[in-house]
């Protein structure tokens, strides 16, 4: 299965994600301008996530899970480039302990 790669160094992919995030941001902005966003809070929080992801790209910490610091699979990042956590941490948000991680 080649579908789950965990590159140890995501920096070569930063330009690709800068473009992806720019597109996401434009799409969000357009959706808000056109009134396609029903809830303003939803749109603004996505915009915030996108700009923070761009900040992480610039800081060189993009693509690392904020919970466990593991690299996030490229496939997940390509689908949701502004995600902060890996799939495991998304499934079990930090609540003191999580299954299999004492």
Binding residues for Zn ion (CB under 5 A): 65, 67-68, 86, 89
- The nearest distance, CB 19 to Zn ion, in angstroms, is 25
Query: Is 71 in a helix, a strand, or coil?
Result: strand
* Minimal distance, residue 27 CB to Zn ion, in Å: 26
Minimum CB–partner distance for residue 26 and Zn ion (Å): 29
Chain-centre distance of CA 101, in angstroms?
23
Residue whose CB is less far from Zn ion, 16 or 67: 67
Nearer to Zn ion, 50 or 89 (CB): 89
With vertex at residue 27, the alpha carbon angle to CA 67 and CA 20, rounded to the nearest 5 degrees, is: 55
Cα distance from N-terminal residue to C-terminal residue, the chain? 29
CB of 69 to Zn ion, least distance (A): 7
Distance of CA 95 to the CA centre of its chain: 21
CB-nearer residue toward Zn ion: 21 or 89 = 89
Q: Phi/psi of residue 71, each to 5°?
A: -65, 140
Q: Which is nearer to Zn ion, 32 or 76 (CB)?
A: 76
């Amino acid at each position: 299965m080649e579908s789950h790669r965990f590159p140890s160094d995501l920096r070569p992919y930063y330009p690709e994600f800068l473009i992806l995030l720019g597109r996401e941001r434009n799409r969000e902005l357009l959706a808000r301008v056109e009134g396609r966003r029903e809830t303003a809070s939803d749109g603004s929080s996505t915009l915030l996530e996108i700009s923070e992801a761009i900040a992480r790209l610039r800081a060189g910490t993009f693509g690392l899970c904020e919970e466990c610091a593991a690299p996030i699979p490229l496939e997940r990042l390509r689908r949701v480039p502004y995600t902060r956590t890996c799939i495991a941490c998304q499934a079990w948000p930090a609540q003191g302990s999580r299954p299999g991680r004492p």
